[in-house]
Structure 1
């Protein structure tokens, strides 16, 4: 599949958005002991998977009855110990969370390797402070369990617990002096006297953080959005109502996950190449669906749907709030269980690729020569400068190449959703093709949907509508969101029926949903797989041989009803503008 290079601008204080990216091979063969590659010794391009050895630590499914109670008990003990550390200790729970807020990548091909390093770093700290030498993070397989597991509301596994800070004011009062004195705010020069951009401060400047006041503004002082929430608004789902709605269930379903693991090259699976890990480019399916919607629903971007909301759910900005919606998301302990599952799926993709002889890393990784530049070298040499070790000292592992393989942390996974893909994955038999759509009525508001049409070869939609289709048809949708659109959910329909009552997430025509994350005004590009909708349309007799496909992209039925009036309150206008569709491109993968 060709690379989806939709390069997007990035402005200050923009909450970055993501794209699943990277490669890992843990060689899981059973739920007991699996083979794990060791980390490469240098940045040099690997020509094959590294040698394997039995893993020392095992990441288990959190709600598997066979998972020992000790796992979550040790996690609680580690959290309490980290919360009790003084602000001056880099291992303090909130100090660790601030590493994510200052450095995390989204919307480019560094998201998965960076988060592997971050989650592995915290795992080591919890293991050390809990006193449990066997501790490893469990993972939350949301495809199997489409709700927050009940155990994750216990004690300090819930960020509303009194052990956590109760307000932004309390947080800032406790940490302001420490943050102001961090060495990351100090500028450094090269031997020639020029400013050194490859330092912590150089990286902060790329995110628009000139001094601590910029950072605090994003955390809780911006009138447009915030990343720190008070004790009564830490999660969007509760113990009494922990279940996903229909939209999130579809975004995290096994079918969606299998589609997300379908691309046949690293750049397509991991999203477009970025200039650096601080700037978003384009979201892959794994990122725009399960990753984003878990962050959105647990982060309380939208409240629970009510009957008066209509078939497509609650309006934007109506949720109670919660940490997972912003860059302080690791404040919620569930963050690590979410990202371990994404890391596990990354492994499944790599082993699927290895089974069909496909590429597992960016272009150029098989080239042994150290001369010249390649996508792999650009990706592998990117600096990650904020990580620490289990004792709080700066990590000596400072490049993406250090986190290509999980051998750095010596873990494996109990098999979960999509494991079967490794044995069943067919190699694509259709050459990559691209089809640009003609966008009509690009504006999306509370009373209007955007529409577009695209011509495709005869027979392509039928070919991609079968369970064992030789290729996937993917829609890349580029959107320019309005500044007040945080929490808006857009729904994409293929050849939508004329009866607007059928425009629901359960419709055969529903391709998928797009969540506008907690950010200031931004352009994003997302990928949606059409195969599932094509199959559903064929099975109910609605898939025709037409060579022109029509798309509808909007928030709800395009009718000026009570829903539109409520959503309009978010922006103070009678009609609330939400986004503009910049481009839609279909790609075969």
Structure 2
């Protein structure tokens, strides 16, 4: 993106924080349109991760967010993605990655907040934890009204926090991990490799992006409220781009290939079956109910976009 496009994107995101909520009937704590998109993720988190519809649901979430940027905030460009492999290969300190530039990016880390072993049980090597100090998304210019709990009925104005964990980025956000993910022969194995297991010992491009930026105290590390951080959209757009690149390898079959459990972690189908193309997902008041077949091709069904 050039400088004009970058500024247009951050301005549009800030614009959504100034627009009144349209989903406050069900997300009662929401005050802004940005809250709506964070809130629907929070409300559905327990049902949209480690399931077969993880990638399609987030694809729909992204597309609906971009639609709001365009229609409600006069954004004229595509939703950007963050290819973190470029940054991890660059040799630069994480604080110096372009995406975190205060003037042309999304702002950087928060100040360091020490934690006890109990507060940091996995012993993550982290460098921040407090409110983001620079860039377009500092308090009070950027106000989050939901979180940190999953209760969307309460309004709780607070700042965006980041807690960079560079060693996690160096372990997870690598071209080799992407290549291994891309080598999977079917959707079931592909989506499981994207999410992997809830662990800091197995590299994963999904959790790796969240926890590299969010560490322990960062907003994006909060499973329920991770869309609070505007970099969430860039990270998930990159995951969607990787899925699309995988689909394009065998476009006719892979845009029909869906599997995975309906119930989180139910890979042996003891609680329920697998999702199918007619499985339904929704975004509550944020987006209408659709079937998965409508989300399998980014230029068909309810979608119309591409990656460059």
What is the TM-score when the length of structure 2 is the normalising length? 0.67
Cα distance in 2 for residues equivalent to 1:144 and 1:100 = 28
| Among candidates 276, 290, 293, match of residue 398 of structure 1 | 290
| Among candidates 271, 287, 299, match of residue 214 of structure 2 | 299
* TM alignment of 1:289-328, pairs within 5 A: 289-301=204-216, 321-326=217-222, 327-328=224-225
Identify the residue that residue 3 of structure 2 maps to in structure 1: 69
Cα distance in 2 for residues equivalent to 1:85 and 1:359 = 36
Cα distance in 2 for residues equivalent to 1:245 and 1:216 = 23
Cα drift, residue 130 of structure 1: 2.4
Cα distance in 2 for residues equivalent to 1:117 and 1:77 = 22
Identify the residue that residue 499 of structure 1 maps to in structure 2: none
* Bigger radius of gyration: 1
Cα distance in 1 for residues equivalent to 2:251 and 2:298 = 16
Cα distance in 2 for residues equivalent to 1:247 and 1:300 = 9
Identify the residue that residue 188 of structure 2 maps to in structure 1: 267
Cα drift, residue 216 of structure 1: 8.4
* TM alignment of 1:29-48, pairs within 5 A: none
- Aligned 8 A contact 1:83 1:164 in 2: yes
Cα drift, residue 283 of structure 1: 7.2
1:98 matched to 2:39? The reply is yes
Cα drift, residue 162 of structure 1: 1.4
Cα distance in 1 for residues equivalent to 2:180 and 2:157 = 34
Identify if the C-alpha distance between structure 1 residues 342 and 140 changes in structure 2 by more than 3 Å, giving closer, same or farther: same
Partner of 2:306: helix, strand, or coil? strand
Partner of 1:103: helix, strand, or coil? helix
Cα distance in 2 for residues equivalent to 1:95 and 1:359 = 29
Partner of 1:380: helix, strand, or coil? coil
Identify the residue that residue 163 of structure 2 maps to in structure 1: 236
Cα distance in 2 for residues equivalent to 1:294 and 1:359 = 25
Partner of 1:165: helix, strand, or coil? coil
Cα drift, residue 359 of structure 1: 8.5
Partner of 2:5: helix, strand, or coil? helix
- Aligned 8 A contact 2:61 2:283 in 1: no
Which of the two has greater helix per residue? 2
* TM alignment of 1:128-207, pairs within 5 A: 128-132=71-75, 134-146=76-88, 147=94, 148=97, 149=99, 150=101, 151-153=105-107, 159-165=137-143, 171=145
| Among candidates 229, 252, 255, match of residue 173 of structure 2 | 252
Identify the residue that residue 411 of structure 1 maps to in structure 2: 305
Identify if the C-alpha distance between structure 1 residues 292 and 79 changes in structure 2 by more than 3 Å, giving closer, same or farther: same
Cα drift, residue 293 of structure 1: 1.5
The number of residue pairs the alignment matches comes to 244
Write the deviation string for residues 502-561 of structure 1: whole angstroms up to 9, x where unpaired.
Answer: xxxxxxxxxxxxxxxxxxxxxxxxxxxxxxxxxxxxxxxxxxxxxxxxxxxxxxxxxxxx
* TM alignment of 1:533-552, pairs within 5 A: none
Write the deviation string for residues 237-262 of structure 1: whole angstroms up to 9, x where unpaired.
Answer: 3xxxxxx6344223111111101111
| Among candidates 61, 73, 80, match of residue 14 of structure 2 | 80
Cα distance in 1 for residues equivalent to 2:5 and 2:134 = 14
Identify the residue that residue 269 of structure 2 maps to in structure 1: none
Cα distance in 2 for residues equivalent to 1:288 and 1:360 = 27
- Aligned 8 A contact 1:265 1:360 in 2: no
Which of the two has greater strand per residue? 1
- Aligned 8 A contact 1:266 1:362 in 2: yes
Cα distance in 1 for residues equivalent to 2:177 and 2:68 = 33
What is the TM-score when the length of structure 1 is the normalising length? 0.37
Identify if the C-alpha distance between structure 1 residues 297 and 339 changes in structure 2 by more than 3 Å, giving closer, same or farther: same
Identify if the C-alpha distance between structure 1 residues 403 and 84 changes in structure 2 by more than 3 Å, giving closer, same or farther: same
Partner of 1:350: helix, strand, or coil? helix
Identify the residue that residue 127 of structure 1 maps to in structure 2: 70
* TM alignment of 1:394-473, pairs within 5 A: 394-395=287-288, 397-407=289-299, 408-414=302-308
- Aligned 8 A contact 2:10 2:106 in 1: no
- Aligned 8 A contact 1:251 1:290 in 2: yes
Identify the residue that residue 246 of structure 2 maps to in structure 1: 349
Write the deviation string for residues 365-424 of structure 1: whole angstroms up to 9, x where unpaired.
Answer: xxxxxxxxxx99832222222255xxx6x52x422222111123321112xxxxxxxxxx
The Cα RMSD (Å) is 3.8
- Aligned 8 A contact 1:83 1:94 in 2: yes
- Aligned 8 A contact 2:85 2:173 in 1: yes
Cα drift, residue 281 of structure 1: 9.9
Cα drift, residue 322 of structure 1: 1.2
